[in-house]
Amino acid sequence: GESVGLHLPTLSVQEGDNSIINCAYSNSASDYFIWYKQESGKGPQFIIDIRSNMDKRQGQRVTVLLNKTVKHLSLQIAATQPGDSAVYFCAESRWAGTALIFGKGTTLSVSS
Amino acid sequence: EPEVTQTPSHQVTQMGQEVILRCVPISNHLYFYWYRQILGQKVEFLVSFYNNEISEKSEIFDDQFSVERPDGSNFTLKIRSTKLEDSAMYFCASSTGASYNEQFFGPGTRLTVL
């Protein structure tokens, strides 16, 4: 069945380091991928997205990389800050308007 | 900045009771969704709603669940006879349905079934 998973349940970094969070997906028909950040007691917050016709997209301090050959997605956070501490989920969908299938989440802890 | 809102923030109910969770999606959005998250687990899709009908639903969304858009602003999730395993955070989301499928999530309703 469809599933999206993350390689590591937790990641601990020092403030100022670059963080890389990985995700493997299984549905080759997925067309759209998103990274969400979830802080304790809150709903998922959009970080960055990418379509399957791209392999890289950059935002402010964040970059998403998509490798369709090995069905791998990663989120890179530059100069990680304590405020980046949260659970990060990748999610996939087939096309616009369809269900997002979430992975299990990676808890990022940033120490100063 | 427009946002999805949800009420109540916390709902406690007895097993077997009916609950209605309410959401106000972002006003110009056309697609509406419900997801749930059991404590410590991943977010799971329940149902999507477009043009006043269900467009997609998961295996979780069985006959105990229903959704409705009773007016131009609200979007509700009803659980007819709650079970202990329905205890979870329930998130409403909405999107424009444009080519990038960014879904905006509300803060969630924590449902506790006793």
Percent of chain B scored above 70 by pLDDT?
97
**How far is A111 from B62, CA to CA, in rounded Å?**
43
Alpha-carbon gap: A80 to the closest alpha carbon of chain B (Å): 23
* pLDDT tens by residue, B47-101: 999 999 999 999 999 999 999 998 888 999 999 999 999 999 999 999 987 766 6
Q: B80 CA to chain A: closest CA distance, Å?
A: 23
What residue in B sits closest to A92 (Cα-Cα)?
A: B101
Distance CA B69, CA B38 (A): 25
Give the helix/strand (H/E) hosting A5.
Answer: strand A4-6
pLDDT of residue A25: 87
Going from the C-alpha of A3 to that of each of A26, A87, A92, B12, B112, the distances in angstroms are 6, 18, 9, 31, 27
Of B45, B98, B105, the CB nearest to A99: B45
By the CB < 8 Å criterion, does B43 face chain A? yes
Across the interface, do B42 and A105 touch by the CB < 8 Å criterion?
Answer: yes
More reliable by pLDDT, B97 or B26: B26
**What SS3 class is residue B86?**
helix
pLDDT at A1: 32
Q: What pLDDT is stored for residue B40 in this prediction?
A: 85
What does R_g of chain A's alpha carbons equal in angstroms? Answer: 13
Judged against a pLDDT cut of 50, whether residue B30 lies above it is answered with yes
First vs last C-alpha separation in chain A: 41
d(CA A34, CA A1): 19
Instruction: List per-residue pLDDT tens for chain A, 112 residues long.
Output: 334 555 678 999 999 999 999 999 888 889 999 999 999 888 999 999 999 999 999 999 999 999 999 999 999 999 999 999 999 999 999 877 789 999 989 999 999 8
8 Å CB contact of B97 and A99: no
Is B35's CB within 8 Å of A100's CB?
yes
Sequence-separated (6 or more) residues with CB below 8 Å from residue B71: none
Judging by DSSP bridges, how do beta strands B10-13 and B109-113 pair with one another? parallel
Task: Name the DSSP letter for residue B60.
Answer: T
Q: Which residue matches tokens 């079934």?
A: B113
Per-residue burial over B15-46, b = 16 or more CB atoms within 10 Å of its CB, e = otherwise: eeeebebbbbbbeebebbbbbbbeeeebbbbb
Length of chain B: 114
Give the nearest partner residue to B101 out of A93, A102, A105, using CB atoms: A93
Q: Which of B35, B105, B102, B42 is nearest to A5 (CA)?
A: B42
Residue ranges of chain A whose CB lies within 8 Å of a chain B CB: 32, 34, 36, 42-46, 49, 51, 89, 91, 93, 95-105
**pLDDT for A44:** 94
**Can you tell me the distance from the alpha carbon of A84 to that of A109, in angstroms, rounded to the nearest whole number?**
8
- For residue B24, the chain A residues in CB contact (below 8 A) are none
CB-based contact A89 B107, cutoff 8 Å = no
Map tokens 């998403």 to a residue: A64
Cα–Cα distance measured from residue A91 to residue A73, given in angstroms and rounded to the nearest whole number: 10
